[in-house]
Amino acid sequence: MNRAHPAFLSVQTLLPLLAVLLLTLAPHAAHLPLWESAGIAGLLLWRAHAARRHWPLPPGAVKTALTLLAVIGVVVSFRGRLSGQYAGTALLCAMAALKLLELKQRRDVMVLLFLMYFLVLTHFLFNQDLWTLAYLLACVIGTTAVLIQSHHSTALSLRYALKTSTRMVIQALPLMVLLFVLFPRIPGPLWGLPNDAGAARSGLSDDMSPGDISSLINSDEVAFRVRFKDRVPPPSARYWRGPVLDQFDGRRWHARTQQPFAQAIPEITLHGTPLYYTITLEPQRSRWLLALDMPEAESIPADAQLAASATLLAKNPVIDRRRYTLGSSPDYRLDAARAPAPALVALPPNLNPRTRAFAQQLRAQYASDVDLVNAALQHFRSEPFYYTLRPPLLGRNSVDEFLFDTRRGFCEHYASAMTVLMRAAGIAARVVTGYQGAERNALGDYWIVRQSDAHAWVEVWLAQRGWVRIDPTAAVAPERIESGLESALGLGERLPRHLLARTPWQHYIAVRWDWVNAQWNAAVLGYGPELQQAFLRRFGLDDLRRMLLALTLSMTAVLTILGLWILYRQQKPAVQDRAARLWQRLQKRLARAGFTAQPHEGAQDFILRVNRARPQWADALTDALQAYQACRYGTLDPAQGDDDPAQLLRALRAALDKATSSVG
């Protein structure tokens, strides 16, 4: 029968191991199936209880059955997958927890500990912010402390193991920084993209239905940051163009399949002085590069191009943080000389009859498209429409119900209704999605656009002017454009916490924390091939061979210095030397009292002789002798108790002070 905890794995070592494993696995709970999180928690609790009660480990058949169940569960939960970002991580977490059931030898503990190191690394597949780094650094220190404990045959003080682990991690930091700076960078994330990289991520989409954009209001994730070069556009011009949706099935709007790069060229005429800005776009796993209307061709990155819908597209999906600089002119003409395709006036048949009738009524009153558009906007202004996060559900004729019955909706409701109304009146129209607005960070002098700034508006095609932006939301709730979402919603709306008014102290902290994150993103997470080459070029390391040579020499120098330092410490044991100096002080005090140590006398014989002559000093001198022997001749192994070398020295100093006082 297997023992629950072998001699080398005491309860004092197993419990810290379980605690650190829990610390390592806890953040993954957000990505694991509920059954797996519950199963891991149950295994941890059972293993701790079994160690305290000295229960045997389960037999091999039970472990095999649990392993098969875990594998089958992962396959079913992730639709037949065992690899990839989510399925692979779930499998690793399950295997780490099941490994607790077979910790019979030291090598089993080693396997689990090194698996825990790898699990720490997997957290960066999901999040790379500063909080994650600090948390995972604590996981590394804890795992290393357990590794140190597992290499001692006797119980080692956890405090001492943590101190040693922390010291080791700090000593490794210079080498880590050196490798980070000099090791050749590869494009994209270090881990590459698994097959499930297209997993859901909050943000814009290439389709839209009522409720899609309003659901993003709950997210305070940063979509991108912007730094303007000379001037900042007014709020009414801060429309960040994203996907253009031009196909309608009666409820959802879809984007047409983008044309090949070489064919997707809109006709754009720019006027006025361009406004220059730099965008740092967060990973979004799509090709859209957000931009103000309308980018000048000279500023568009080499690996990007304007699609026929005037959306800026990258050649490849944005899978890591990307920075690009654009120049945009708010005064432009888009496809003014190119008549729109008939599909941009098409609507599904037999839907929304009241909207069609209202459109024909407007057409009968206004022969001019411009006048008709203005009349439609005036209808939104004058009628009792409401801007709300919680609109009622809509049925089959969703636009009819919104325009004439509920009259309550978010930006996607107004954009969809306006586009359908324009098409029903014979005017080409399409929905444009993106972001509207930005929040300034005064500390870093940049602007933040969050997912909660997602917005939808309309473009209509007018003769001699081309595609023109109109925003029915601005007609109903102009505060949304000028002052932000929180100013446009009614008093009864329940806003997400990040949109509630902040106290001055909360604003102070938020601004500085975002600035720290921006610096972290730029200097560390954004340290790719281009930044590395620019940095190393300052030191003359502009080619790969020089960089590898510098890396080799630097690592050799660091390892040499580290080795010499270790040899120095081994040749001069600090604890023993300090103990000897303290003992010499007591010998000098005793010499002044008439007791001099003879050359042939050791410390113990000397103190025994003094004790026989001065019994009143015996207790204090004996305590001092024992403390000195523990430091000078003892094992100095903290496993002998809760003491570490620093504590032994403190005990010796206290005992010697007491003995010196007794001697007088």
pLDDT tier for residue 612 given thresholds of 50, 70 and 90: confident
pLDDT tens by residue, 326-347: 999 999 999 988 889 899 999 9
Q: Which residues contact 497 (CB under 8 A, 6 or more apart)?
A: none
Q: Rounded mean pLDDT of 25-49? A: 89
Which residue in 287, 276, 280 sits closest to 244, CA to CA? Answer: 287
pLDDT over 80 (residue 555): no
- Is a pLDDT exceeding 90 seen at residue 469? yes
Residue 635 confidence (pLDDT) above 60: no
Using alpha carbons, select from 453, 409, 402, 454 the residue that is nearest to residue 432: 454
601 compared with 276, residue with greater pLDDT = 276
Residue 640 pLDDT more than 70?
no
* Poorest-pLDDT segment among 265-279, 590-604, 645-659: 645-659
Percent of the chain with pLDDT over 90: 29
**Which of the residues 335, 471, 643, 644 is marked catalytic?**
471
**pLDDT tens for residues 78-88?**
888 887 788 88
Local confidence band at 642 (pLDDT 50, 70, 90 cut-offs): very low
The pLDDT of residue 356 is: 95
Highest mean pLDDT (candidates 90-99, 103-112, 481-490):
90-99
Return the C-alpha torsion angle 656, 657, 659, 663, nearest 10. Answer: 130
| Distances, alpha carbon 126 to alpha carbons 27, 28, 190, 259, 516, in Å | 10, 9, 13, 32, 20
Give the pLDDT band (50/70/90) at residue 484: low
- Alpha-carbon torsion (390, 394, 400, 401), positive or negative: negative
- Answer yes or no: 455 catalytic: yes
Which whole number is the average pLDDT over 131-135?
Answer: 86
pTM over 0.75: no
pLDDT value at residue 478: 80
Give mean pLDDT, residues 61-69.
90
Provide the β-strand partners of residue 450: 222
Asked whether the beta carbons of 179 and 198 are under 8 A apart, the reply is no
| Average pLDDT, integer, range 62-67 | 89
The 10s digit of each residue's pLDDT in 344-370 is: 999 999 899 999 999 999 999 999 999
Phi, psi (degrees; rounded to nearest 5) at 471 = -130, 100
Asked whether residue 10 carries a pLDDT value surpassing 70, the answer given is no
Q: Which residues pair with 288 in a beta bridge?
A: 313
R_g (Cα) of the chain, nearest Å: 35
Give pLDDT, residue 388. Answer: 82
Q: Which amino acid type is present at position 283?
A: P
Residue 637 has pLDDT above 50, yes or no: no
Whether residue 501 has pLDDT greater than 60: no
pLDDT digits (tens, 9 = 90+) for 286-320: 899 999 999 999 999 998 999 989 999 999 888 87
Q: How far apart are CA 647 and CA 624, in angstroms?
A: 14
pLDDT band, residue 447 (cuts 50/70/90): very high
Give the angle subtended at the CA of 339 by the CAs of 334 and 340, to the nearest 5°: 80
The tokens of 47 are what?
A: 């293993």
Q: What is the pLDDT of residue 503?
A: 66
Each domain of the chain, given as residue ranges in start order, spans 11-182, 207-487, 529-571, 578-663
> Which stretch of 76-80, 233-237, 484-488 has the lowest confidence by average pLDDT?
484-488
Q: What is the pLDDT of residue 615?
A: 84
- At 23, the pLDDT band (50, 70, 90 cuts) reads very high
The band of 636, judged by pLDDT with boundaries at 50, 70 and 90, is: very low
| Statement: residue 45 has pLDDT above 70 | yes
Residue 141: the pLDDT is 93
Residue 469, helix vs strand vs coil: strand
pLDDT at 103 over 50: yes
Residue 648 has pLDDT above 70, yes or no: no
The secondary structure of residue 392, as a DSSP letter, is P
Average pLDDT of the chain to the nearest whole number: 82
List alpha helices for 383-503, DSSP H.
Answer: 398-401, 411-424, 472-476, 478-482, 485-488
Q: What whole-number distance in Å separates Cα of residue 449 and Cα of residue 444?
A: 14
Which of 8-17, 97-106, 519-528, 643-652 has the largest mean confidence?
97-106
Which range, 428-437, 553-562, 641-650, is most confident?
428-437
pLDDT at site 618:
80
Span 271-281, mean pLDDT?
A: 92
Please measure the distance between the N-terminal and C-terminal CA atoms of the chain and give it in whole angstroms.
64
Q: How far apart are CA 164 and CA 23, in angstroms?
A: 19
Q: Which two tokens stand for residue 276?
A: 């220059």
Q: Can you name the residues that pair with 275 across neighbouring β-strands? A: 328
pLDDT at 1: 41
Range of weakest confidence among 44-48, 101-105, 256-260: 256-260
| Local structure of 26: helix, strand or coil | helix
DSSP string, 538-562: TTT--SHHHHHHHHHHHHHHHHHHH
DSSP string covering 289-339? --EES-B-GGGS-TTEEE-TTS-EEESS---S-EEEEEEE-SEEEESTTSP
Confidence of residue 543 (pLDDT cuts 50, 70, 90): low
Which is more confident, 482 or 448? 448
Q: Give the pLDDT confidence score for residue 191 in this predicted structure.
A: 46
- What is the four-CA torsion angle of 531, 532, 534, 540, rounded to 10 degrees? 170
- Average pLDDT value for residue range 497-507: 65
Residues 404-410 have a mean pLDDT of: 89
Q: Which residues pair with 448 in a beta bridge?
A: 225, 439
Q: Which of 159-168, 313-322, 504-513, 534-543 has the lowest mean pLDDT?
A: 534-543
Confidence bin at 661 (pLDDT 50/70/90):
confident
Of the candidates 335, 455, 631, 643, the residue annotated as catalytic is 455
Give φ, ψ of 458 to 5 degrees. -125, 145
* pLDDT computed for residue 2 by the predictor: 44
Among 366-380, 398-412, 551-565, the least confident range: 551-565
Q: What tokens does 533 get?
A: 């080459």
- Whether 506 has a pLDDT exceeding 90, the answer reads no
641/166: higher pLDDT: 166
Q: pLDDT band for position 6 (50/70/90)? A: very low
Q: Mean pLDDT lowest for which of 492-506, 508-522, 630-644?
A: 630-644
106 C-beta neighbours (distance < 10 Å), count: 13
| Summary count for the chain: helices (H), strands (E) | 21, 19
> Which residues have a Cβ under 8 Å from the Cβ of 568 and sit 6 or more positions away?
none
- Cα 124 from Cα 134, distance rounded (Å): 12
Q: What is the pLDDT of residue 641?
A: 46
